[in-house]
Chain A
């Protein structure tokens, strides 16, 4: 049942853009790209926020680090995007470990405030550092490649294939991230993260170095954000501080994770699949025409999120899906309520 659902989802994700592409539409491929990008970020944030239980409101710093590292390597040294992505992940992990270790003595709100503070410090650095282009940022020149494989590895899709190319690149990144997170959840790391979340003292008492595991959790989050930042930079063809350090790179994934189900592997995925298309629909319907320019789309979008959060604070995945789906198959038989997870 689970495998079948997974297979159907995979086929749908691979096949749906093809008829659209053949008819010359690209809009839905771009929506799909944004859904996947935010799902990847949500999967990353779920490690520190959902499993390790530490509220990190500054992961966009590592999104920016990833984008800048790969862009710099490409612009200054001509390094291809896939190599740039590896470098970006390494730099983000090292930087995150160095920045996070001193913060791990802080708990709860204080940890959250510290992560925001790091983001605030990153903004003027990004805006004034000449080497990375200051507030102008970096421009990534589109370089046409011969073969499809070379294009894919260099993340440089151009022309009518652009939206589709980035959609499939994001799909690959998503699949890799999801598989990695599924492994983390079942590994020693996953157990230790959740132990620290549920009771830090008790975790230390059974031999868990809480500071070390908080650093590891946030570094995994940073690695995912950096990789996503690289894909975004090559899609946007530019990197500048106001764009990659934007608050939305943390709030959207966090909202997707919370709406879908914080601490559940598929929570951020479900959240992104619901929230991102709604935001796109709102901006294309309410954001145009007579109501344009008044932010009505954002107001309605916000209200929808508030309604979901009020209706199900533990996320949509925490609804008794097993019972509902079970009823559909077996009819209204008496079954005990499925325990969460």
Chain B
């Protein structure tokens, strides 16, 4: 991603990142979380330069993420998945298990704690990823298409969960999402990417009226339909 992109995030806010396919949304997430390194520019999290840090170091600083295509620890139980996350903040397994239990309950997975993660439904796997990410004690949570592939009901439940995380746990959240109906009502601020460039940045009401956004994203979608 050669193009410079300046995105600043205020604390305890809810940010949305949208853009058409191939815009570079996931690439940006990968750069922020250390899975890719940008060719140019700097990434700063809370005053720390994280441009060249490895994923595990960035997690230690308080950034957690989920994945567009879910990545659970399939052969471990749901609870053990979350325990692995909680061990980021403690070396004691008993302490981590207690924290994991809380988060399993918080994300509504209490009946499935002892089920191997591979046997969960997609909606539950996505919840599990969120629980595991929360267990690492993040200050910034990056959700990569947390609603994709879900039924309308499941998506509504997921939106509710994300809202609760933001309000009850006071965590800054940034979502990548295709579904406009999810991003717009939740976000304080929306950034639009197209071909690796920021083309708009503002409150949702402005974004939906922005000419460039309509032509690059909304317009394209309408044209496809």
Which chain A residues have a beta carbon within 8 Å of chain B's beta carbons?
A: 186-188, 191-192, 194-195, 197-199, 201-210, 263, 339-340
Taken together as a complex, chains A and B put the C-alpha atoms of A290 and B35 apart, in Å, by 64
> B54 to A204, Cβ gap below 8 A?
yes
> B55 to A191, Cβ gap below 8 A?
no
* Beta-carbon nearest neighbor of B73 in chain A: A198
Tell whether B56 is near chain A: CB-to-CB under 8 Å. Answer: yes
> B115 to A201, Cβ gap below 8 A?
no
- The stretch from B5-13, B81-89, B151-159, B215-223 touching chain A is B81-89
Q: List 18 A-B contacts (CB under 8 A).
A: A188-B93, A191-B96, A194-B76, A197-B75, A198-B72, A199-B72, A201-B35, A202-B132, A204-B35, A204-B55, A204-B59, A206-B59, A206-B133, A206-B135, A206-B136, A207-B60, A209-B54, A339-B115
> B59 to A339, Cβ gap below 8 A?
no
Taken together as a complex, chains A and B put the C-alpha atoms of A340 and B115 apart, in Å, by 10
Number of interface residues of B (CB under 8 A): 34
Taken together as a complex, chains A and B put the C-alpha atoms of A195 and B54 apart, in Å, by 17
> B55 to A192, Cβ gap below 8 A?
no
Query: How many whole Å from A104's CB to the nearest CB in chain B?
Result: 13
Contact residues of B between 92 and 122, Cβ < 8 Å to A: 93, 96, 114-116
> A194 to B93, Cβ gap below 8 A?
no
* Beta-carbon nearest neighbor of B119 in chain A: A339
Which chain B residues have a beta carbon within 8 Å of chain A's beta carbons?
A: 33-35, 54-56, 59-60, 64-65, 67, 71-76, 80, 83-85, 87-88, 91, 93, 96, 114-116, 129, 132-133, 135-136
16 extra interchain contacts, Cβ-Cβ under 8 A, other than A199-B74, A207-B60?
Answer: A187-B93, A195-B76, A198-B72, A198-B75, A199-B72, A201-B67, A201-B71, A202-B72, A202-B132, A204-B59, A205-B65, A205-B71, A208-B56, A208-B84, A339-B114, A340-B116
Which 3 residue pairs spanning A and B have beta carbons closest together? A198-B73, A202-B71, A207-B59
Interface SS of chain A = helix
> A191 to B71, Cβ gap below 8 A?
no
> B76 to A207, Cβ gap below 8 A?
no
Query: How many whole Å from B27's CB to the nearest CB in chain A?
Result: 15
Contacts A205-B55, A206-B136 known; A188 to B67 CB distance under 8 Å?
no
Specify which chain B residues have a CB less than 8 angstroms from the CB of A339 in the assembled complex.
114-116
Q: Which of A188, A191, A204, A208 has the most CB of B within 10 A?
A: A191
Q: Which of A195, A197, A201, A205 has the most CB of B within 10 A?
A: A205
Taken together as a complex, chains A and B put the C-alpha atoms of A339 and B119 apart, in Å, by 11
